[in-house]
Structure 1
Amino acid sequence: MKPGSLFDRIFGFLGQLIALNLLWIVCSLPVITAGASTTALFYCTLKLHKDGDIRVFHDFFKSFKQNFRQSTLIWILMVAAGIFIYMEKEALATMPGSMSQIFYYVIFAVYIPLVAVALYVFPTVAAFENKTMTLITNAFYFAVKHIGYALAVAVITILPMTMTLVDAKLFPVYLLIWLMFGFSLTAYADSWFMWKLFKPYFKEEEEGHHYVDTEPDQYAF
């Protein structure tokens, strides 16, 4: 079989996904580092769409180190916001009369933007260099810029995990898939939509069918 054949490319791509999946799981185990590892995962999957290839370990840990502080801060803020919303939701049962209904809608109004930001913020950090609050704002902007993409990303990200949790019979199969390449495949699928949103903001010059950054491997406004 010739090098570069379809068979080689398929198995090479699958090998990259498996390696990325393993790196993401291992680097997320301390929990506090989950934000940085998610940013690194999206850096690699975005680069796969951009360049068609990556150096898995080099690119993953390059992004992990460069974005560690910013991603960790955002991760802590997102977890804190999620805990706060959960506690407020639990407190609804203690509210009198129509107050619980009013606060239910308030919580729902906060929850939707939070989910939108959570889905987009780490790919945005992976792709652009900016201040933390600017990146969070940009993540929300990208989410609302193309609602169809946002819905697709939400379905791709949330639905498989929901199916895994509710289907006890097939849970071992789902778990094996997640451990093998489920997280990296989800990020790769999400990145297809992300890259279409991000690409216009990059300085590009077309050479044939390829786009070349003025600073290779650097994503910035």
Structure 2
Amino acid sequence: MNEKRGYLVGIQTLFDPDNVVWSFLLKVYSLLLAGLLWFLCSLPIITLGPATIALYSYCFAVLDDRESYLFKSFFSTYAKSLKQGIAVTILLLLIGAFLFIDAWFFLNTMPMLFFVVAGLGILVLFPALHLFALMSMQKSSIKDFLKLALYLSIKHPAVTITVLLVVTVWFLSMYALPASLLFSAGPACMLAAMFLRSFYKHIGVYTINNYNKE
């Protein structure tokens, strides 16, 4: 009888929402679900920006222990950042396409200019690694976001390269297991958010997400 009672208590403890293991599993599940929302909302391609802003916003909220309902939080931020996010996405896609075409052309004609274009590509890529994270925290103009992202990427290359490594590992995981694209954006964004949050707080640019404020 005592053994049965102890067994039932053990089961209740295991599924207690306050249990450390259960709480961790719930967070992992939420991140995977957030990754799926990001994937679905990014399908039009031009909405990659708003989807990434919403995902960063949720990840920062989890890290701050101020997370709310995933769907409400994600889609609220997604809707409010739609205009700016799409504009930035289109801008980055156009610049990226232009540089890619130039790089492909110069690689076969003038290799020296290929390296120049590659350098310009890095100048675009590095700020982009900060851009959507910054947009998830603050309200400002696109011009100001671009200036701050460029400054941070050049002034603090170690942090930028760390985030780049996270993104690279994420891409490699999708190459090895394409189906992981459906869910993996959540955990990958959380890992990047952990580094960026610590860095942004250290330099004083980390603010509570204004998108979810009424």
State the TM-score, normalizing by the size of structure 2. Answer: 0.83
Is 1:128 aligned with 2:138?
yes
Residue in 2 aligned with 1:210? none
Q: 1:31 to 1:217 in 2, by over 3 A?
A: closer
Structure 2 residue runs of 5 or longer lacking an equivalent are 1-12
Alignment of 1:117-196 (within 5 A): 117-162=127-172, 164-165=174-175, 171=176, 174-179=177-182, 181-196=183-198
Q: 1:7 aligns with which of 11, 16, 21?
A: 21
Deviations 1:37-77 (A, max 9, x none): 11111111111112353321111111111111101000000
Q: Is the radius of gyration larger for structure 1 or structure 2?
A: 2
* Correspondence 1:198 to 2:208: no
In the alignment, is the contact (CA less than 8 A) between 2:58 and 2:70 conserved in 1?
A: yes
Distance 2:36 2:62 in 1: 17
By how many angstroms is 1:177 displaced?
3.2
Q: Please, what TM-score do these two structures have when normalized by structure 1?
A: 0.80
The alignment yields a C-alpha RMSD, in angstroms, of 2.2
The change in CA–CA distance for 1:187 and 1:93 in structure 2 (over 3 A counts) is closer
The 5-angstrom pairing of residues 12-23 of structure 1 reads: 12-23=26-37
- Per the alignment, do residues 47 and 3 of structure 1 end up closer, same or farther by CA in structure 2, a change over 3 Å counting? closer
For 1:214 and 1:163, how far apart are their aligned partners in 2?
Answer: 30
Distance 2:27 2:209 in 1: 26
2:7 is matched with none
1:74 and 2:88 are equivalent in the alignment: yes
Question: Partner residue of 2:98?
Answer: 84
Q: Is the 8 A contact 1:46 1:191 kept in 2?
A: yes
Q: Does 1:24 align with 2:26?
A: no
Paired AA for residue 74 in structure 1: V
Contact 1:142/1:197 (<8 A) preserved: no
Count, aligned residues: 197
